[in-house]
Structure 1
Amino acid sequence: MHQFEANFDGLVGPTHNYAGLSFGNVASKSNANATSHPKQAALQGLQKMKALSDMGMVQGVLAPQERPDVYALRRLGFTGNDATVMQQAYKLAPHIFLACCSASSMWTANAATVSPSGDTADGKIHFTPANLTNKYHRSLEPEVTGRILQATFADPEHFVHHLHLPENEHFGDEGAANHTRFCHDYGGKGVELFVFGRYAFDDSKPAPRKFPARHTFEACEAVARLHGLSEDTVVYAQQNPAVIDSGVFHNDVIAVGNQNVLFFHEKAFLDTTKMKKEILSKLGFDDFHFIQVDESDVSVEEAVKTYLFNTQLIRLPNGNMAIVAPKECENSESVSRYLSKLITQNTPIKEVHYFDVKQSMQNGGGPACLRLRVALTEQEKNKVNPHTLITEHSYNALCAWVNKHYRDELHVADLVDPQLLIESRTALDELTQLLNLGSVYPFQR
């Protein structure tokens, strides 16, 4: 049976902007209030999707969220018509208003945690949207994310959808940004690595001091239970608190894995030896590659700056593994030197492909942030909503849609323009028809 890993990238939304909302994300804060380019950002994302599709990868797209979120503003006491609500919020509570305008759903690595059918007790693929409780602007996403996932993976015989975890800091869940899976074959049994930043119910355990640990151990355990994972298919590992305080807000900023490879920085985990031993014992095969990057080769600071580890690690149809990296990696002397050397060594990684995703990078998200991975069998792929898969036709249609509806430039002050909300709703209404999603947005209900 043909088995593979599909990538579903988030489509950048019409309100893509730089409001500097994410404390602990160095790139996000450092580019606050810069002029954004929504059309360019969306087209950059689509170009990466099309390039991976042309490489022979199964590539899908996930729709953005409706923004500004006037429904959230109404819950917080702002009244009147949509324009009045936006104007009041911008004047009286600008930070809240900007949070309700965020296009952060583009980073679908945070959208959900996905467990393939080879790992689950019922033999179905399980999805749990991340609650993203640590950041208000992201905590607005889970409900609509759940609807979009259900419209994309709709067949109940193959796909199971769970409600996101309780919206409480004790169960802070950042989705697949802190989750990866190792296996021999994508459709067979694997081992899922859940990475967390702190223990919510035990203050005596190590935790970062400067920046928040967004993902808890308790959330990892809860998702594993929901997905019907057995003890021999799960490994839990804690992030090194020191790297969180260095700006590593998610594990996918300091490590990336796929099949029989874990590519990581030496400072990524609190107890690397224990994690490695447990992965090997539960996988049950020896052909595994732990590729550790030492601080002397690439510093944590440079890894965060270039997003060396926020790269996609993919298995190409020719059997090689390839790293999909942002241009920032190519432009860094230490990182480009390391990657050039890596592909000549005795590991499955034989290729590096560089992409321009600057609009996303400036807001704190690299190639890996932009995609949600879903391991599928051929039968399961045939049950995915076909309109959400990237083909020559769908790519051209989506590019035409972006060029029709998106603004070239967006300043933070433009977000209060009522016309932007109208433009966004018009665009999303048309997008749901292109992708055959039905009524997933509040304004459509």
Structure 2
Amino acid sequence: MMEVNFDGLLGPTHHFGGLSAGNLASLSHRHHRSSPRRAALEGLDKMKLVAELGVPQAIFPPQRRPHLQFLREQGFSGEPRLVVDAVARRRPELLSVAYSASSMWAANAATVSPSADTLDGRIHWTPANLISMPHRKIEAEQTTKLLREIFSEERFFVVHDPLPDQAKYSDEGAANQTRLCRQYEQRGVELFVYGRSGDDTTVSENRFPARQTRQASELIAKRHGLSPDWTLFAQQSRRAINAGVFHNDVIAVGNASVHLVHEHAFVDQAAVLRQLERRFAGDLRTLVITDQELSLEEAVRTYFFNSQLLTTTAGSMTLVCPLECERSQAAQQVIERLLREDNPIVDCKFVDVRQSMHNGGGPACLRLRVVMTPDEFAALPRAIIWTPQLHQRLQVWIETHYRDELSIADLADPDLVDEVGNAFDELGRILGNKRLLP
């Protein structure tokens, strides 16, 4: 079996809306000028690096924007240009939501369990409902359609509906799930991390809200046919959430039998780690980073734990870290220690994804990882599999259709509707399948 990385292709309306409560990078860059062209090219270059490390790489196309259904539900009607013009005059704050390109963060697209873990031996997907944020909630329907188009072979794949649109089932996708295993083809332990239980949405003295619920994670595990003996639920620490850890992938990352985690990631962390260790009978390598080595604040600022941890063709592991880690003395010292010590991590690559970082997502946010057999991988549409040829065509497409700069005020420009529409029409021709752009 192999791990396949599905990266979200950054869309032409990438802008800094500052829409994500609890995400410090998003909030601190609110209404700055963005560069959609640079953002998409940065993401494309990261895919190239991962593919060259020997990890199969695929893409999720961006979602069409503006999200006209959302605007019409707010009471606006007419042709797209007229709708945008009316919204800009009467309720301009809605344009940032309707034009959000946040589907690029594929780690939030769905929770996925590989066939080695499930009762029926198929890969199971549950698209995230993302109900905690309006600009992300609008993604769920299109994500479900996209997943059902890509993973249509029912012998291998099951794509469930998103969870109910209820507070107690708030679901943020694989950003709060880690799969640990001895080998990819063996049954793994699926660790689900939640921020709160039940209908408790109160913030009280807390700085930021918790997004994922335990009920959502438990229902997904049941849907996917996971064994209770190989499933673990852990709660995010409130200290981490208040420091800006809105998802678990901002404070921990795992791959195969390596679990890299900050000491303040979970409630009763010692007990959580003991339970994981017992399931692996000593074969799990738990690498704990202390707050003294890397404070929560520096972990959030650099997104060190949002690095990708990859098994390469050589059989060893490589960290793919955001460039911010190279410029942080504390993060650099942690990386140097990990590379020096006896563990499977032997190399580190730094990637420039600053446009995504400024909007609140690092390298791991941009990808959804899926363990697959060769037959499962062969059932995917070839149009979405990264190749040097596809890379070149997408690069030309981005340079042709994406604006170099985009401001909040630019979202009111009716011409942007036509520009984006033309870009998506051309992308449909490149991929040879318009149904990949629901």
User: Normalised by the size of structure 1, how large is the TM-score?
Assistant: 0.95
Q: 1:207 to 1:226 in 2, by over 3 A?
A: farther
Equivalent residue for 1:110, pick from 108, 111, 129:
108
Q: Is the 8 A contact 2:61 2:437 kept in 1?
A: no
**How does 1:188-203 map onto structure 2 within 5 Å?**
188-201=186-199
Structure 1 stretch displaced more, 153-162 or 304-313: 153-162
Q: Deviations for 1:322-346, whole angstroms, at most 9, x for unmatched residues?
A: 1100000000011111101211101
CA distance in 1 between partners of 2:296 and 2:205 (Å): 16
**How does 1:211-230 map onto structure 2 within 5 Å?**
211-230=208-227
Q: Which residue of 2 aligns with 1:64?
A: 62
Structure 1 stretch displaced more, 299-308 or 206-215: 206-215
Q: Which residue of 2 aligns with 1:367?
A: 363
Q: Which residue of 1 aligns with 2:185?
A: 187
Q: Which residue of 1 aligns with 2:277?
A: 280
Q: Is the 8 A contact 2:67 2:98 kept in 1?
A: yes
Structure 1 stretch displaced more, 22-31 or 70-79: 70-79
Q: Is the 8 A contact 1:117 1:124 kept in 2?
A: yes
CA distance in 1 between partners of 2:30 and 2:166 (Å): 27
**Following TM superposition, where does structure 1 have runs of at least 4 consecutive aligned residues deviating by more than 3 angstroms?**
201-204
In structure 2, stretches of 5+ residues that fail to align are none
CA distance in 2 between partners of 1:203 and 1:308 (Å): 28
Q: Is the 8 A contact 1:9 1:61 kept in 2?
A: yes
Alpha-carbon distance, 1:357 to partner = 0.3
Q: Is the 8 A contact 2:107 2:174 kept in 1?
A: yes
Amino acid at match of 2:391: Y
C-alpha RMSD of matched pairs (Å): 1.6
In structure 1, stretches of 5+ residues that fail to align are none
Alpha-carbon distance, 1:394 to partner = 1.0
Q: Is the 8 A contact 2:92 2:412 kept in 1?
A: no
Alpha-carbon distance, 1:378 to partner = 1.2
Amino acid at match of 1:325: C
Equivalent residue for 1:244, pick from 241, 245, 258:
241
Q: Is the 8 A contact 2:62 2:437 kept in 1?
A: no
Q: Which residue of 2 aligns with 1:35?
A: 33
- The answer to whether the aligner puts 1:380 opposite 2:388 as a matched pair is no
Q: Deviations for 1:200-233, whole angstroms, at most 9, x for unmatched residues?
A: 24689x9982211110000001111111111012
CA distance in 2 between partners of 1:162 and 1:114 (Å): 10
Q: Which residue of 2 aligns with 1:300?
A: 296
**How does 1:430-441 map onto structure 2 within 5 Å?**
430-441=426-437
Q: Deviations for 1:402-436, whole angstroms, at most 9, x for unmatched residues?
A: 11211111111111222212221222222233234
Q: Is the 8 A contact 1:208 1:245 kept in 2?
A: no
Equivalent residue for 1:93, pick from 70, 91, 105:
91
Q: Which residue of 2 aligns with 1:121?
A: 119
Q: Deviations for 1:237-271, whole angstroms, at most 9, x for unmatched residues?
A: 00001110111110100111111111111011002
Q: 1:416 to 1:198 in 2, by over 3 A?
A: same
Q: Which residue of 2 aligns with 1:5?
A: 3
- The answer to whether the aligner puts 1:165 opposite 2:145 as a matched pair is no
Q: Which residue of 1 aligns with 2:147?
A: 149
Structure 1 stretch displaced more, 379-388 or 211-220: 379-388
Q: 1:377 to 1:20 in 2, by over 3 A?
A: same
Q: Which residue of 2 aligns with 1:233?
A: 230
Task: For residue 426 of structure 2, give the secondary structure of its aligned residue in structure 1.
Answer: helix
Q: Which residue of 1 aligns with 2:265?
A: 268
Q: Is the 8 A contact 1:313 1:324 kept in 2?
A: yes
Q: Is the 8 A contact 2:61 2:436 kept in 1?
A: no
Amino acid at match of 1:375: V
Alpha-carbon distance, 1:44 to partner = 0.5
Q: Is the 8 A contact 1:198 1:215 kept in 2?
A: yes
Task: For residue 256 of structure 1, give the secondary structure of its aligned residue in structure 2.
Answer: strand
Task: For residue 343 of structure 1, give the secondary structure of its aligned residue in structure 2.
Answer: helix
Structure 1 stretch displaced more, 383-392 or 432-441: 432-441
Q: Is the 8 A contact 2:428 2:437 kept in 1?
A: no
CA distance in 1 between partners of 2:114 and 2:21 (Å): 32
Q: Is the 8 A contact 1:320 1:348 kept in 2?
A: yes
Q: Is the 8 A contact 1:208 1:242 kept in 2?
A: no
Q: Is the 8 A contact 1:193 1:235 kept in 2?
A: yes
> Among the aligned pairs, what percent are the same residue?
45
Amino acid at match of 2:139: E
Q: Which residue of 2 aligns with 1:342?
A: 338
Equivalent residue for 2:316, pick from 311, 317, 320:
320
- The answer to whether the aligner puts 1:396 opposite 2:392 as a matched pair is yes
CA distance in 2 between partners of 1:207 and 1:347 (Å): 42
Q: Is the 8 A contact 2:277 2:283 kept in 1?
A: no
Q: Deviations for 1:82-120, whole angstroms, at most 9, x for unmatched residues?
A: 222112222322222211111100100000001000000
Alpha-carbon distance, 1:67 to partner = 1.2
Q: 1:157 to 1:208 in 2, by over 3 A?
A: farther
Amino acid at match of 2:417: L
CA distance in 1 between partners of 2:177 and 2:52 (Å): 27
Structure 1 stretch displaced more, 12-21 or 376-385: 376-385
Q: Is the 8 A contact 1:297 1:334 kept in 2?
A: yes
CA distance in 2 between partners of 1:147 and 1:49 (Å): 23
- The answer to whether the aligner puts 1:254 opposite 2:251 as a matched pair is yes
